[in-house]
Amino acid sequence: MYDLRYLRDNFDTIRHQLGRRGADVPWDRLRTLIEQRRALAGQVEQLRHELKKGSDEVAKLKREKQPADAPMVAMKAIGEQIKTIEVELRTVEETLTDLNLRIPNLPHASVPVGNDAGDNKEARQWGSPPLLTTPAKSHWELGEALGILDFDRAAKVTGARFAVMMGVGARLERALINYMLDVHTTQHGYREVLPPFLVNRSSMTATGQLPKFEEDLFRLRDEDYFLIPTAEVPVTNLHRDETLNENALPIRYAAYTPCFRREAGSYGKDTKGLVRLHQFNKVELVSLARPDQSYEELERLTGHAESILQGLELHYRVVALCTGDMGFSAAKTYDIEVWLPSQNHYREISSCSNFEGFQARRAGIRYKGAAGKKDAKTEPIHTLNGSGLAVGRTLVAILENYQQPDGSITIPKVLRDYMGGMERIKKE
RNA sequence: GGAGAGGUGGCCGAGUGGCCGAAGGCAGCAGUUUGCUAAACUGCCGUAGGGGGAAACUUCUACCGAGGGUUCAAAUCCCUCCCUCUCCGCCA
């Protein structure tokens, strides 16, 4: 969503730049609506001014016990005129707002131009693939053989794209959650949050999931509530409609939540294993930052996510998404991709984005300069978030990268305290 | 789920149809007084959008939980919804 004045003043520039994202925006209609809204609003304002003056006149006459019929009749006519124009105005505004909510964010100047994932740019790599002496087995083969993953029973209990973790597998998932939260809260300065897993429509609209992507969400039948697809939604919305003090920024939160996604349109992709599920666990990092510091913050936040993979000693690379591959709300995104031996390629395990003021405008999150400062103005903050990390995919990476010839799994050193000192996962 | 009470500016709190964008108080800011602290006194002190001005500023409009309605005129009357609180029931 764009500030209407900004959109009006920079219409052609924005139109041009969004062309590179392949955004399907009805530009001409949008321009017409903006002008119509402006004209109608002006008319209403002027008529209302007349009405107000007339009503004051009536009040004055009545106080003086004078007849007031003439102005009352005249004002009634104006009142009706206002009502007519307002109906028109409301229609225009509704259409305009709906269109506006469906315009994607503007990419930052540093984002590589491109059409799809093939045009993404690798920023850096860390570590190296493990040296396996036997052909790499997939995590689902390993996990099912060890008795820690069960997809058949998950399908029975719920359906496709769900998983059950059992025994040491369940504990490993829990260990990862705790490890990630501990690192981010004690080493990186994030405040831990445990938010609701269901949110309302306003929250989903504020962070950009709605109105455009409703088919990707699970929705309750009897309430207008949605299951969160990421903790980004409840956590960013903590400060919806708030004006924050500049001194308080940046505000950093780390939240563990399960995430629920319909995965509409991904039939046939990643049908096996833990990689693409309707429900998965994630530790999310969210930051609210001053606009002039948000790109520094994006680098920092991405580094915080990377540090988890470094602690786990997993090989990964970081790529800057190109204009065509970025999400709807993002101005710039880095994906962190972990190495998966069984697939012999990198797989997204974290996505770190700066949304600039895009979500903040929708959410009404603003900040104010420190009191006493002369040029203190109130404007949207910048919001950022990134996975730190997707827990299920991290478990996948551990199983595959730490697999032994006998099918057992070595537990990364940093997790052993969380696993009661256990060093290896063997068949139970 | 049943019964009741409420939602007004950063906070507290007046205001049941007409100079109410909203009394009063607290907090905050600027200043005066004062040996310091404190106190007292004076002034300022909501947000958003449009117009005018280089700017301090000025003017118009909207906003008293949200959305409709009645009326010449709504914080005030009516309807719907949301939220909070109390009691009962149920429940982890």
Rounded to an integer, what distance in angstroms lies between the CA atom of residue A105 and that of residue A329? 5
Evaluate whether A212 touches A102 at the Cβ level (below 8 Å).
yes
pLDDT number for residue A373: 45
pLDDT number for residue A370: 58
A1 by Cβ neighbours in 10 Å (0-12 / 13-18 / 19+) ranks as buried
H helices then E strands: how many in chain A?
12, 17
Rounded to an integer, what distance in angstroms lies between the CA atom of residue A162 and that of residue A151? 7
Q: Does the C-beta of A372 come within 7 A of strand B?
A: yes
pLDDT number for residue A371: 45
- Give A357's Cβ-side CA count (13 Å radius): 15
**What count of other Cβ atoms lies within 10 Å of the Cβ of residue A190?**
24
Evaluate whether A129 touches A337 at the Cβ level (below 8 Å).
no
Give the residue ranges of DSSP H helices in A25-127: 27-63, 69-101
Tokens 């309707």 sit on residue: A278
* Contacts (Cβ under 8 Å, ≥6 apart) of A17: A106, A107
Report CA A60 to chain centroid distance, whole Å: 55
**Annotated catalytic, A379?**
no
Q: Does the C-beta of A428 come within 7 A of strand B?
A: no
Q: A122 to each of A117, A178, A346, how far by Cα in Å? A: 11, 30, 11
In tens, the pLDDT along A360-402 reads: 999 888 887 654 444 456 888 999 999 999 999 999 999 999 9
SS (H, E, C) A204-241: HHHHCCCCCCHHHCCECCCCCEEECCCCHHHHHHHHCC
For chain A, state the CA radius of gyration.
27
Three-state secondary structure call for residue A142: helix
Q: Does the C-beta of A72 come within 7 A of strand B?
A: yes
Q: List beta partners, residue A284.
A: A255, A387
ipTM for this model: 0.85
Q: A123 to each of A117, A268, A309, A318, A327, how far by Cα in Å? A: 14, 30, 16, 5, 19
* Contacts (Cβ under 8 Å, ≥6 apart) of A225: A198, A199, A200, A219
Q: Does the C-beta of A54 come within 7 A of strand B?
A: yes
Q: Does the C-beta of A77 come within 7 A of strand B?
A: no
- Nucleotide B89 C1' to residue A345 CA (A): 59
Nucleotide nearest to A72 (CA to C1'): B72
A56 by Cβ neighbours in 10 Å (0-12 / 13-18 / 19+) ranks as exposed
From A138, A351, A353, A387, active-site residue: A351
Report CA A96 to chain centroid distance, whole Å: 23
Q: Does the C-beta of A124 come within 7 A of strand B?
A: no
**Annotated catalytic, A351?**
yes
Q: Does the C-beta of A311 come within 7 A of strand B?
A: no
Tokens 């008795």 sit on residue: A147
Tokens 């429509």 sit on residue: A201
Residue A147: DSSP 8-state: T
pLDDT number for residue A376: 56
Residues of chain A with pLDDT under 70: 369-377
Q: Does the C-beta of A79 come within 7 A of strand B?
A: yes
- Nucleotide B84 C1' to residue A291 CA (A): 35
- Stated length of chain A: 428
* Contacts (Cβ under 8 Å, ≥6 apart) of A341: A129, A130, A132, A136, A400, A401, A403
**Annotated catalytic, A171?**
no
Three-state secondary structure call for residue A266: coil
- Nucleotide B91 C1' to residue A313 CA (A): 46
From A20, A174, A219, A276, active-site residue: A276
- Nucleotide B39 C1' to residue A379 CA (A): 39
Q: Does an H or E element contain A136, and which?
A: none
- Nucleotide B33 C1' to residue A373 CA (A): 27
User: Could you give the domains of chain A?
Assistant: 4-101 (1.10.287.40), 117-425 (3.30.930.10)
Rounded to an integer, what distance in angstroms lies between the CA atom of residue A279 and that of residue A161? 8
Nucleotide nearest to A4 (CA to C1'): B49
pLDDT number for residue A337: 98
From A21, A161, A261, A366, active-site residue: A261
In tens, the pLDDT along A265-309 reads: 888 888 899 999 999 999 999 999 999 999 999 999 999 999 999
pLDDT number for residue A372: 42
Rounded to an integer, what distance in angstroms lies between the CA atom of residue A399 and that of residue A410? 8
Q: Which nucleotides of strand B are protein-proximal, with an atom < 7 A from a CB?
A: 18-19, 28-30, 47-50, 60-62, 68-69, 71-73
Residues 318-347 of A with CB under 7 A from strand B: none
Q: Does the C-beta of A42 come within 7 A of strand B?
A: yes
